[in-house]
A and B are shown apart, each in its own frame.
Chain A
Amino acid sequence: DGGITQSPKYLFRKEGQNVTLSCEQNLNHDAMYWYRQDPGQGLRLIYYSQIVNDFQKGDIAEGYSVSREKKESFPLTVTSAQKNPTAFYLCASSFTPTATRNEKLFFGSGTQLSVL
Chain B
Amino acid sequence: AQSVTQPDIHITVSEGASLELRCNYSYGATPYLFWYVQSPGQGLQLLLKYFSGDTLVQGIKGFEAEFKRSQSSFNLRKPSVHWSDAAEYFCAVGASGTYKYIFGTGTRLKVLA
Interface residues, chain A, with chain B CB atoms under 8 Å away: 4, 6, 9, 31, 33, 40-43, 45, 48, 50, 56, 88, 90, 92, 97-101, 103-105, 107-110, 112
Of the candidates A33, A101, A109, which one forms a contact with B32 in the assembled complex, judged by CB atoms under 8 Å apart? A101
- Closest A residue, CB atoms, query B46: A104
Q: Is B70 an interface residue (CB 8 A)?
A: no
Is B43 positioned at the interface, with any CB of A under 8 Å from its CB? yes
Q: Is the beta-carbon distance between B9 and A99 smaller than 8 angstroms?
A: no
A109 touches B43 (CB 8 A): yes
CB distance B43 to A110 under 8 Å?
Answer: yes
Residues of A within 8 A of B51 (CB): 101
Query: What 0/1 pattern do residues 77 to 113 of B give for CB contact below 8 A with A?
Result: 0000000000000100011111111011110000000
Complex alpha-carbon distance, A90 and B43, angstroms? 7
